[in-house]
Amino acid sequence: MSNTIIGHNLLSELKREAQKKRLAGENFFADKIVNDIFANAEDIVRKNVVRKDKQINWSQKADNVLTSKITGYPIMLLTLGVILWITISGANVPSAILADVLFRFQDVLTGIFMYLGAPDWLHGVLILGSYRSLAWVVSVMLPPMAIFFPLFTLLEDLGYLPRVSFNLDHIFKKARACGKQSLTMCMGFGCNAAGVISCRIIDSPRERLIAILTNNFVPCNGRFPILIAIGMIFGAGALASHLQSAAVAGIITGMILIGIAVTFIVSWALSRTLLKGETSSMVLELPPYRRPKILAVLYRSFIDRTIFVLRRAVLVALPAGAITWLVSNVYVGEMSILAHTANFLDPVALAIGLDGFILLAFILGLPANEIVFPILIMSYLSSGYMIELDSLADLQILLVSNGWTWLTALCTMLFCVLHWPCATTLLTALKETGSKKWSFLAFLIPTGMAFLVCFIVAQSARLLGLAP
Amino acid sequence: MEYSSVSCRVLREHFGINAKENQKVIALAGNPNVGKSTVFNALTGLRQHTGNWPGKTVDNAQGVFTYKNNFFLMVDLPGTYSILARTVEEEIARDFICFGQPDVTIVVLDATSLERNLNLALQVMEITSRVVVCVNLIDEAKKKNISIDYAGLEQELGVPVVPTAARGGIGLEDLKEEVYQVALGFKKVQPRKTRYSPEIEEALAALIPKIQDLGWGQFLNPRWVALRFLEGDEKLIDNIVRHLSLRTGQSMNSEVEIAL
């Protein structure tokens, strides 16, 4: 018996000593051990293996550039910027054409309703409500999606995304999160619900939770059009037209970077408070570069993503448009229900640089972010400013006449990137974590961040006298 | 010697492996997608039994084969890139090699990406010396113009190295022969020691004597245990204590006694 106790003493003494050494090594021993094993393996291979494999050499060279500490980050940033630039400049024209066609058809529909002598409210609900928000969703969302998704899938097919994950690994490690989180973030660009599901690839439950809770900070496809539209309206006005797309791409890249920065900050904070723990290393197999199968890419991005997301948006937009029209046209006293609610929200909204209508649109957009912008436009339109909206310039007039400044635009974009996840994402988080507490946090953390960041930005801009 | 074989059996049963007295236990490790299952199927044929690892949702396959009138029970470990126990699969693979005390561990490597694959072999060689390295997919490597000096590799690693193309049935007889030689102790193996950075080696040198004092030396490689202490893998350390107490307390005590 006494022997066992002595054995235990020896053991705890040993644990203490190892801990001391570990701390002296600044906790990098685990990493160093892995690195040393790889160095040994490299050494053995160098002595015993001769490679005349052209393809491997070629991909090794590509890896050296794409994952280098110096060129890796600029290339990632540039790729993101270029993709956004192509998306924006490419989406411009088809967006305008679609809007033109769809809104002209609205006039035709209105004509038919008039001819049939349909009551005003029916015309309002069906045409001004449902049809118009549908037209908005399609004309604003379809072109950027149809360009962005294939480009993104192309990168995926080329084998670039795992390299991105590799590059970002050490930042995630600093935040004590998993490097694979960057892959789940990439999924989040498409759809945050899909991003949350993809967190299954992270093995450690702690790191998986961090990834789930922060996935919302990458703007999904439903929020992209809001960023693009606002960016185009306010970001590019001052510049020569051929520079506009680049400027808008720059603004949106900036927004995405802010979202990514917040992801790191929140991950860092979580792993030091609620989800304490050390990071685990991961082995990431960098797949060979492949020539992408263009047809498969087009099919996958069109059917699996574009059509899928668009369908969801349309299904939500139809009823939401009708409801929004109703609440903005049913009057209680002097004002519509919508205006009453917006007024009620106004004090809070103004403090964070928005207005009541914007905040209300985000709240009503909980089922799907895609409809936030259509709701917003509709609520502005119903409050008196009737304008034929067939170009972004008209949209700018509408927003400015409703009191928008550059600060409103900035705060709306920030709020858009940071605010609560859509209902689908929240339900997915509930399913994946199996816990109401964590799902509530998945709502609370982004909401808190959105209010905090917008409040700081709005208040400091006003204090400095930069905006009213 | 006889005593330790009884305790081995207790430990293996803990993993759901019931080897008969005369069966040698062979563990099969390797990265995912290196043809590990092909090797497994080629050696055991239809004499397989599949299930789960006890208490885990990870597949476990066992199969038997005979070679030169000796019986072998082969255990297919989960495919992993390392055995640093970052995932359930890695933990299973490591714990079996560490506590299941297989008579031989075969590490299957992909000849077309030896660099990444060797890392697993080196990690296994730190736990157990009875390792046979199987370099698989040599046909693919040939296609890609990769030439490997197998004799040099064997000398460098200090354990038998067998080139195979399991899909075409090439090299499997050699693999069996080497496994047989090592399992029955005909061939002495002397695995290469992985060399670490000076600060790690320094810390190891200070820790190893104290680990030897614990009396785990007969059972586990003190150097490997010291590395895990340095990583701060408390769970493994507790696991070791638990597994050691699965052996009869008497031996544990006597070892501690000797140490003191």
A368 within a domain of the structure (yes/no): yes
Residue of A nearest to B125 (CA): A37
- Can you give the pLDDT at residue B258? 45
What pTM was estimated for this model as a whole? Answer: 0.68
Q: Are residues A149 and A2 in the same domain?
A: no
Among the partner-chain residues B146, B156, B211, the one whose CB lies closest to the CB of A53 is B146
- 3-class DSSP state for residue B67? strand
Q: Nearest C-alpha of chain B: how many angstroms from A8?
A: 9
Task: State yes or no: ipTM above 0.95.
Answer: no
Distance CA A16, CA A24 (A): 12
pLDDT in tens, A179-222: 788 888 888 887 788 888 888 888 778 889 999 999 999 998 78
% of chain A surpassing 90 pLDDT: 19
Which residue range is the domain that position A16 belongs to? Answer: 1-47
**Which residues of chain A make contact with B122, given a CB cutoff of 8 A?**
37, 40-41
Q: Are residues A162 and A14 in the same domain?
A: no
Q: Nearest C-alpha of chain A: how many angstroms from B147?
A: 5
- Is there a contact between A36 and B200 (Cβ–Cβ < 8 Å)? yes
Nearest to A215 by CA among A446, A460, A455: A446
% of chain B surpassing 70 pLDDT: 86
Band of pLDDT at residue A55, cut at 50, 70 and 90: low
Rounded to a whole number of angstroms, the CA Rg of chain B reads: 18
- Is there a contact between B62 and B20 (Cβ–Cβ < 8 Å)? no
Lowest mean pLDDT among A228-237, A348-357, A410-419: A228-237
- Return the higher-pLDDT residue of A172 and A20: A172
Measured in degrees and rounded to the nearest 5, phi and psi for residue B103 equal -70, -35
- Can you give the pLDDT at residue B1? 35
pLDDT in tens, A94-143: 888 888 888 888 889 888 988 888 888 888 888 888 888 788 778 777 88
Contact A52 B200 (CB under 8 A): no
Question: For residue A36, what are the CA distances in angstroms to A30, B177, B221?
Answer: 10, 32, 19
Q: Are residues A348 and A407 in the same domain?
A: yes
Distance CA A462, CA A352 (A): 11
Distance CA A246, CA A266 (A): 30
pLDDT in tens, A148-165: 878 888 887 888 888 888
- Is there a contact between A161 and A348 (Cβ–Cβ < 8 Å)? no
A53 within a domain of the structure (yes/no): no
Q: What single DSSP character describes residue B193? A: P
- 3-class DSSP state for residue A452? helix
Tell me what the mean pLDDT of segment A9-38 comes to: 77
pLDDT at A56 over 80: no
Tokens representing residue B186 in the block: 């005909």
- Return the higher-pLDDT residue of A14 and B36: B36
Tokens representing residue B17 in the block: 């492996």
Tokens representing residue A342 in the block: 């917006």
Question: For residue A256, what are the CA distances in angstroms to A201, A233, A416, B114?
Answer: 23, 18, 11, 39
pLDDT in tens, B85-103: 677 888 888 888 888 888 9
**Which residues of chain B make contact with A14, given a CB cutoff of 8 A?**
207, 210-211, 214, 229
Q: Are residues A18 and A92 in the same domain?
A: no
Contact B229 A32 (CB under 8 A): no
pLDDT at B248 over 50: no
Distance CA B116, CA A30 (A): 18
- Can you give the pLDDT at residue B250? 43
- Is there a contact between B116 and B81 (Cβ–Cβ < 8 Å)? yes
Contact A42 B115 (CB under 8 A): yes
pLDDT in tens, B31-46: 888 888 889 888 888 7
Q: Are residues A143 and A42 in the same domain?
A: no
- Can you give the pLDDT at residue A278? 65
A62 within a domain of the structure (yes/no): no
Q: Are residues A34 and A109 in the same domain?
A: no
Question: For residue A452, what are the CA distances in angstroms to A252, A413, A444, A459, B78?
Answer: 20, 14, 12, 11, 46
- Return the higher-pLDDT residue of B212 and B29: B29
A52 within a domain of the structure (yes/no): no
pLDDT at A282 over 70: no
Among the partner-chain residues B82, B194, B226, the one whose CB lies closest to the CB of A36 is B194
pLDDT at A362 over 90: yes
Tokens representing residue B97 in the block: 């090699």
Question: For residue A464, what are the CA distances in angstroms to A319, A377, A467?
Answer: 43, 30, 8
A384 within a domain of the structure (yes/no): yes
**Which residues of chain B make contact with A16, given a CB cutoff of 8 A?**
none
Tell me what the mean pLDDT of segment B228-247 comes to: 77
Tell me what the mean pLDDT of segment B45-54 comes to: 75
Q: Nearest C-alpha of chain B: how many angstroms from A45?
A: 6
- Is there a contact between B72 and B66 (Cβ–Cβ < 8 Å)? yes
Residue of A nearest to B88 (CA): A203
- Can you give the pLDDT at residue B104? 92
Q: How many CB atoms lie within 10 A of CB B243?
A: 19
Give me the count of residues in chain A.
Answer: 468
A410 within a domain of the structure (yes/no): yes
Q: Are residues A262 and A382 in the same domain?
A: yes
Q: Are residues A201 and A110 in the same domain?
A: yes
- Is there a contact between B43 and B63 (Cβ–Cβ < 8 Å)? yes
A457 within a domain of the structure (yes/no): yes
Band of pLDDT at residue B115, cut at 50, 70 and 90: confident
Give me the count of residues in chain B.
Answer: 260
Q: Are residues A35 and A148 in the same domain?
A: no
Contact B256 A51 (CB under 8 A): no
- Is there a contact between B15 and B54 (Cβ–Cβ < 8 Å)? yes
Q: What is the mean pLDDT of chain A?
A: 82
Report strand pairing: B70-76 vs B104-110.
Answer: unpaired
Band of pLDDT at residue A344, cut at 50, 70 and 90: very high
Nearest to A336 by CA among A124, A69, A94: A124
**Which residues of chain B make contact with A280, given a CB cutoff of 8 A?**
86
- Among all chains, which residue has been given the structure tokens 């299954």? A200
Band of pLDDT at residue A8, cut at 50, 70 and 90: low
- Is there a contact between A321 and A374 (Cβ–Cβ < 8 Å)? yes
pLDDT at A305 over 80: no
Which ranges constitute the DSSP H helices of A191-307? 192-198, 205-214, 224-230, 241-270, 294-299
Tokens representing residue B68 in the block: 């030169």
Q: Nearest C-alpha of chain A: how many angstroms from B181?
A: 24
- 3-class DSSP state for residue B48? strand
Contact B156 A6 (CB under 8 A): no
- Is there a contact between A164 and A119 (Cβ–Cβ < 8 Å)? no
A261 within a domain of the structure (yes/no): yes
Start-to-end CA distance of chain A, whole Å, equals: 79
Contact A45 B199 (CB under 8 A): no
- Is there a contact between A30 and B142 (Cβ–Cβ < 8 Å)? no
Q: Are residues A21 and A94 in the same domain?
A: no
- 3-class DSSP state for residue A243? helix
pLDDT in tens, B177-206: 999 999 888 888 888 888 888 888 888 888
Band of pLDDT at residue B260, cut at 50, 70 and 90: very low
Q: Are residues A4 and A139 in the same domain?
A: no
pLDDT at B78 over 50: yes
Q: How many CB atoms lie within 10 A of CB A463?
A: 8
pLDDT at A385 over 50: no
Number of domains in chain A: 2
- Can you give the pLDDT at residue A240? 55
- Can you give the pLDDT at residue B100? 84
Q: Are residues A210 and A99 in the same domain?
A: yes
Contact A52 B215 (CB under 8 A): no
Distance CA A349, CA A253 (A): 25
- Is there a contact between A240 and A168 (Cβ–Cβ < 8 Å)? no
pLDDT at A262 over 60: yes
